[in-house]
Structure 1
Amino acid sequence: MSNNNNNDVIILNSILDTKRQNSANNLSQDEYFEIFAFDQVLKDYDLSYDELLSNQVDGKDDGGIDGFFMFINNEALNEELDLEAIKKNPLIEVYLIQAKTSSSFGEKAIETLMATIEDIFYLDKHISDIKQFYNAQVIEKVELLRNTYLDLAIKHPQVKITYVYASKGDTQSIHIKVKNKTDNLCTRTQNFFIGSEVKFEFVGARELLESARQEKSYSLKLKFLENYISRDEDNYVVLTRLDEYYEFVTDDKGYLRKYLFESNVRDYQGNVEVNRDIKITLASKDTDIDFWWLNNGITLLASKATIAGKTITLDDVQIVNGLQTTNTIYEYMKTLQEIHDERAILVKIIVANKLEARDRIIKATNFQTPVPAASLRATEPIQRDIEDYFLHNDWFYDRRKNYYKNIGKTSNRIISIPYLAQAVTSIVHREPHTARARPTSIIKGDTNYSRVFNSSIPMEVYLFCAKSMKNIESYIRATDFSALTENNPNNLLRSGTIRILIFHLAMLFIIKLLRKVNYTQGDVRSLLQIEFDENQQGLLCNTILEITELTNRYLQTAPTLSINTVAKRSEFTNFLVENVQI
């Protein structure tokens, strides 16, 4: 190890220790290093703690994969994605990440991956043939990848697979044998997906440090043309050049600052008619008609604005309207050899400090064009009420994605909107299969949404559901189940399957606490004062053993099904409820 790398490791270890103590003290050092490495490698995707943890597949039978992440057209891939709505030539990106705390890069890690891809990427091998060799999390990801790829085959998807090996080693001192093995791995992978782009990246202590130092900047400077319009210090209207706006919304590496759009509820729609029209206008270079004459412009929110000359400095920037325009400008201009365009775009800047006022502005600006009702949920009063109640109890409701993560709050007390919906669906409504199968659809549609978020559910019940799920998660991560698997022939505990069944486990745990199957919301409320002490942990351990035994019995009746498929069936939930010992 070189002196430089030794210094890098010392500094990195200091950062890791501090961050783990402040934001993830429920994770071991090895577990936190994995999550930290995932976050740095995939920084441009701005993933939440839930998203990072849900794609962690590390454990017994992981096939040498610690993180299995998939994206389609730059967005996280999940089973609820409407594949029919995806246009031709979609981009499927797969990241297989190994994160080791060792101070070097070894051959064994790559050799293990070489064996694994022969199973997971070879489509002729049925899931039932390989599920015994890999844990449930790996199998779940493989099923999703295969189904997505085959369903989109007619649309000729582009496939990009990136292997990442992260450690505390020095990327300048990797042995030639290790590099040769990565070349063989990439070549073999390309044979599975003809025309695919495959690469292997080594990420060492220096690279992790450099990434960790790249903090998100919400205080940005925007240059503008001529004079601005302002009635007071709370709003401004400016014209800015297209190339200046491009610089404003991109970082030092030229990537779009996606986090600026967290309050914009509309997803980028890609190659739809309105965006095609914007792109045609951009490409036309028509000198007789300026760009801003044909475009509605951009609306920004900021907590503070300061003007010096022809530059306005904005704090806590959020783009609340103009996502389609911004993305289209970005996609167009990043392809140019020289970023230079003197045409202008209209930018409206609203200075608002109060959250309620910001939410009203977000909702109003996004109602100007058709938006699915579910997309506006985060601005509703009940969501603000839950956030306030959680905050009062030192818990953090992530109504604005990654807000609490970015300010360093502890990860095991951060609760996202979908996660809370899953918890309530499992614990209050006793439908863990729905929580498992449709994590985002739970809050889509007025009927589904109102079952989970309504005034009849007391605030303390929401907090109880969140706490219960996090307590169960923490217990599972902290417990070594290997000593409990002697009488478990399918090794469901050792393979980490219990994490697939966490919502079913939560329901059964509440059943055992209440000693009744058909409990009500009122019954759940009666548990509010119960502490998660040694007695409760002992009961949870027994519940884990019982759900494992029941799952084994159920799988014997459906040997061709994977545990991931079974967990999404109401029949399985009914089986558990009918057979649990209370």
Structure 2
Amino acid sequence: MHRVVRAHLDDFQVKHAVSDNQSKQFEAFLNYAIFRTHCAENIEPRDLVYEGDDPGIDGVMIFVDDSYVSSVEEVEEALRDRKRDADVTVVFTQAKTSESWSKGEINTFESAINDFLSEAASYPHSEFMKNAREVFNTVLTHVGKIRDGKPKAEIYFATTARAADADEILAASSAIQRSVAGTGYFSSVHVELINRDSIVELWTAAEGQVEATLKVLGMAPFPKTPGIDEGYAVTVRAKEFIDQILVDGNGRLRQRIFEENVRDFLGSAGDVNQEMAETLLDQVKQKRFGILNNGITMISPDVRVGSLEISIRDFQIVNGCQTSNVLFENRDSIGADATIMLKLIETSDAAVIDDIVRSTNRQAKVEENQFLATLDAVKALERYFEARGAEDDLRLYFERRKNQFSHRENVKAIRVFDIKEIARCVAAMFLDKPDIASRYPNRLTSEMRAQVFDPTYQEEVYHAAAYTLYRLKILMSNNRIEQRYSKLRWHMIMAIKYYICGNVMPNMSSRKIKEKCEEIEAFMGKGDDGTINAIRDLCASIVDIDDITRDKLKGSSLAQDVKAKALAFREANPPKTSKTTA
């Protein structure tokens, strides 16, 4: 492996506590970096790789719009009752640590993809790959709800070599494109040979800061406003806005800059977006685009103004997702005279950002549940984690806003919990819903959000659930607990609650729940052999891990069985719950 790539891989390993062998680490590294180009959600990198029979594909990821779907149920849920067609992308990856290209390995990758796509696969498939095939087949049953009538395919073959230039390697890449396109399953097929430079670019785009400089055609400052450092109304060329703001170094749309925008792209078929597209496709009308369009609102913690240009860092588009996506889709038709107006606001004040997000998006119909990050209960949770962090030696971070801590070098990703991950933790541990946390996590922040983020709950329940999961991840990463239990982690944190606290739990709004949370954290914080052995034995007693399938994980009967066995284990092996610290 090339030394520069290895250095970034080491950084990835430390941040995410991935402790597999180098080959498996590199697979997780590639899959995670590509995942982040499609989806802003946090994910456990280990969930993107698999053990068992390997047909020649290292990763399969399927996205509906900008959401990752990993089960048949999530596909059904994502495509149910839609008012517009969805963008669906199927991603295949193969990662090789070698510093050279191999035509034979690329051919094997092609063969494996075609076998995956066939109606009756011949290659041996692990449970992960069997599930991926089921998800893909479910996607095909919903093509009537997919934009262009078919999903898109993206195929990545990665090495740590220089950029490929040998004819046989380029021909092998073209052969993948032709054969996969020939299946007729996809509206487009993109094949990319990832070299050592491009994988570093993918990784830095996934984890690094986003910066851009724009040449301005006109600019006017806003008056001084409390909570806002600076504000400007700026006119720039649409082409430069696309090139500098919307597109990353690999020519892809920067999905992460829309994380604060509560609305997804609604597609080009809607009346407003179609009219925008028609304006851009007309070489005369597009010159008036900046006047006809309402403009785009952006926030940034760092706006620097020069005489003829303006620089921004870590920016977010909080209003203008539709305009931005239409500009991106029609970028090849946009000339030098098309302009766009930007409202640039410099602030780091979370409350001000909340106000801007809510007010700018009230101008269009947006459902209340799309403002999840602005809920009072969620804000209170952020304040609690900050206060605990000032006291605890081993701090956990609650990420109310996406990438809130991504640029702080001393913060490891394994200690960061976003809203969805916190919801999964508390639902699994204290609501006895590990099946939903495992297989239907989006429900926790939609129809179940009032139950999950009840403002009367004591904040300790969220911290205890997150801390338990964090400790389990650490113990698995250093192999003190077998990593194959990772797929059962949501059931395990529920089992630990019952092992430590027994069957009778105080209400989550009661002050008495705080004592139970302290007991859980004290137990999980101990690293002695007796505690680790107790957790190992608990894991072994609640399930036969070799018998656990994805179908069993999504059923409530497994949760009930785990509860009963955890209580039986407690009776046979009473826990030692002295309150020691990590």
Equivalent-residue separation in structure 1 for 2:113 and 2:5 (angstroms): 31
Equivalent-residue separation in structure 2 for 1:261 and 1:366 (angstroms): 13
Unpaired stretches in structure 1, ≥5 consecutive residues = 1-7, 483-492, 556-562
Cα distance 1:280–1:479, how it changes in 2: closer, same or farther (>3 A)?
same
Contact 1:49 1:411 in 2 (8 A): no
Structure 1 residue 423, shift from structure 2 partner:
0.8
The equivalent residue for 1:368 is 363
Structure 1 residue 179, shift from structure 2 partner:
7.5
Match of 1:270 among 267, 270, 275: 267
Contact 2:150 2:185 in 1 (8 A): no
Q: Deviations 1:243-274 (Å, cap 9, x if unpaired)? A: 34334423455443333222111111113222
Structure 1 residue 532, shift from structure 2 partner:
4.1
Cα distance 1:406–1:50, how it changes in 2: closer, same or farther (>3 A)?
farther
Unpaired stretches in structure 2, ≥5 consecutive residues = 570-582
Contact 1:460 1:528 in 2 (8 A): no
| Matched letter for residue 128 of structure 2 | Q
Residue aligned with 1:349, SS = strand
The equivalent residue for 1:514 is 501
The equivalent residue for 2:352 is 357
Contact 1:92 1:157 in 2 (8 A): no
| Matched letter for residue 43 of structure 2 | D
What pairs up with 1:212-231 in 2 under 5 angstroms? 212=203, 218-226=210-218, 228-231=220-223
Cα distance 1:399–1:250, how it changes in 2: closer, same or farther (>3 A)?
same
Equivalent-residue separation in structure 1 for 2:438 and 2:422 (angstroms): 13
Q: Deviations 1:319-370 (Å, cap 9, x if unpaired)? A: 21111112112212x232xx42424433223332322222222222222222
The answer as to 2:490 corresponding to 1:500 is: no
Match of 1:303 among 293, 301, 304: 301
Q: Supply the RMSD in Å over aligned alpha carbons.
A: 3.6
Residue aligned with 2:402, SS = coil
Equivalent-residue separation in structure 2 for 1:213 and 1:549 (angstroms): 40
Q: Deviations 1:269-290 (Å, cap 9, x if unpaired)? A: 1132221122223334456993
Contact 2:60 2:91 in 1 (8 A): yes
| Matched letter for residue 263 of structure 1 | E
Match of 2:138 among 136, 147, 152: 147
Contact 1:413 1:470 in 2 (8 A): yes
The equivalent residue for 2:82 is 85
Match of 2:443 among 416, 441, 444: 441
Cα distance 1:224–1:403, how it changes in 2: closer, same or farther (>3 A)?
same
Contact 1:299 1:349 in 2 (8 A): yes
Equivalent-residue separation in structure 2 for 1:520 and 1:545 (angstroms): 29
What pairs up with 1:202-213 in 2 under 5 angstroms? 202-212=193-203
Contact 1:57 1:65 in 2 (8 A): no
Residue aligned with 1:164, SS = strand
Residue aligned with 2:262, SS = coil
Contact 2:261 2:317 in 1 (8 A): yes
Structure 1 residue 427, shift from structure 2 partner:
0.1
RCO comparison, higher one (Cα < 8 Å, 6+): 1
Equivalent-residue separation in structure 2 for 1:287 and 1:93 (angstroms): 32
What pairs up with 1:300-379 in 2 under 5 angstroms? 300-332=298-330, 334-336=331-333, 339-379=334-374
Contact 1:48 1:402 in 2 (8 A): no
The equivalent residue for 1:403 is 404
The equivalent residue for 1:528 is 521
Contact 1:461 1:525 in 2 (8 A): no
Structure 1 residue 426, shift from structure 2 partner:
0.6
Contact 2:153 2:186 in 1 (8 A): no
The answer as to 2:231 corresponding to 1:235 is: yes
Residue aligned with 2:366, SS = coil
Name the stretch that deviates more: 229-238 or 531-540: 229-238
Equivalent-residue separation in structure 2 for 1:107 and 1:288 (angstroms): 46
Match of 2:257 among 256, 260, 264: 260
Contact 1:224 1:310 in 2 (8 A): yes
| Matched letter for residue 435 of structure 2 | H
The equivalent residue for 1:473 is 473
Match of 1:121 among 114, 117, 120: 117
Paired residues in the alignment total 539
The answer as to 2:38 corresponding to 1:35 is: no
Equivalent-residue separation in structure 2 for 1:92 and 1:190 (angstroms): 16
Q: Percent same amino acid at aligned positions? A: 21
The equivalent residue for 1:489 is none
Cα distance 1:575–1:174, how it changes in 2: closer, same or farther (>3 A)?
farther
Equivalent-residue separation in structure 2 for 1:114 and 1:253 (angstroms): 23
| Matched letter for residue 44 of structure 1 | T
Equivalent-residue separation in structure 2 for 1:240 and 1:191 (angstroms): 42
Match of 1:566 among 552, 555, 569: 552
Name the stretch that deviates more: 363-372 or 524-533: 524-533
Equivalent-residue separation in structure 2 for 1:480 and 1:105 (angstroms): 37
The equivalent residue for 1:385 is 380
Cα distance 1:517–1:540, how it changes in 2: closer, same or farther (>3 A)?
farther
Match of 2:278 among 280, 297, 302: 280
Cα distance 1:65–1:544, how it changes in 2: closer, same or farther (>3 A)?
farther
What pairs up with 1:542-581 in 2 under 5 angstroms? 542-549=537-544, 552=547, 563-580=549-566, 581=568
Equivalent-residue separation in structure 1 for 2:555 and 2:40 (angstroms): 28
Cα distance 1:545–1:167, how it changes in 2: closer, same or farther (>3 A)?
farther
Equivalent-residue separation in structure 2 for 1:77 and 1:507 (angstroms): 24
Contact 1:261 1:319 in 2 (8 A): yes
Equivalent-residue separation in structure 1 for 2:198 and 2:210 (angstroms): 23
Cα distance 1:567–1:25, how it changes in 2: closer, same or farther (>3 A)?
closer
TM-score, structure 1 as length reference: 0.80
Contact 2:143 2:150 in 1 (8 A): no
Contact 2:475 2:481 in 1 (8 A): no
| Matched letter for residue 153 of structure 2 | I
Equivalent-residue separation in structure 1 for 2:363 and 2:9 (angstroms): 45
TM-score, structure 2 as length reference: 0.80
Equivalent-residue separation in structure 2 for 1:185 and 1:316 (angstroms): 37
Match of 1:137 among 112, 123, 128: 128
Contact 1:58 1:65 in 2 (8 A): no
Equivalent-residue separation in structure 2 for 1:188 and 1:225 (angstroms): 47
| Matched letter for residue 294 of structure 1 | L
